[in-house]
Amino acid sequence: MKRPFVKTGYLGLAVIAMSILLLFIFPAKAPSLPEGFFTPIIAFEFAQTKTDVMQIFGGTDLSVCKQMVDAMDLGNRLDYVYMCLYSAFLFMFSVKCAKVFRKKYFYLCALLSLTVLTGDALENVQLLGITAKIASGDFNTQLHLLHIFTWIKWSGIAVIFLGLSLWFFKGRGFSKIIGMTGVISFVLGTAAYLHRSVINEIFSFSVAIMFILMIIYCFTYKVGQHV
Answer for the pair 36, 197: CB distance below 8 angstroms, yes or no. Answer: yes
Query: What percentage of residues in the chain have a pLDDT greater than 70?
Result: 96
Residue 226, pLDDT score: 55
Mean pLDDT of 189-196: 97
Q: Is the pLDDT of residue 183 over 50?
A: yes
How many CA within 13 A on the CB side of residue 6?
6
Global pTM value: 0.94
Indicate the helix (H) or strand (E) that contains 91. Answer: helix 62-101
pLDDT score, position 61? 67
Which of 92, 95, 72 minimizes the C-alpha distance to 84? 92
Give the pLDDT score at 59: 74
**Residue 219: per-residue pLDDT:** 96
User: In angstroms, how far apart are the furthest CA atoms of the chain?
Assistant: 62
Does the pLDDT of residue 151 top 80, yes or no?
yes
First to last CA, the chain: 15
**Looking at the chain, how many residues does it have?**
227
pLDDT digit string (tens) for 29-70? 998 999 999 999 999 999 999 999 999 998 766 677 889 999
Mean residue pLDDT across the chain? 94
Q: What is the pLDDT of residue 224?
A: 65
Chain segment 88-137, per-residue pLDDT in tens: 999 999 999 999 888 899 999 999 999 999 999 999 999 999 999 998 88
Average of per-residue pLDDT across 201-219: 98
Top pLDDT among 199 and 60 is at 199
- For the chain, which residues make up each domain, given as ranges? 6-153
Query: What is the structure's pLDDT at 227?
Result: 45
Residue 209's pLDDT band (cuts 50, 70, 90): very high
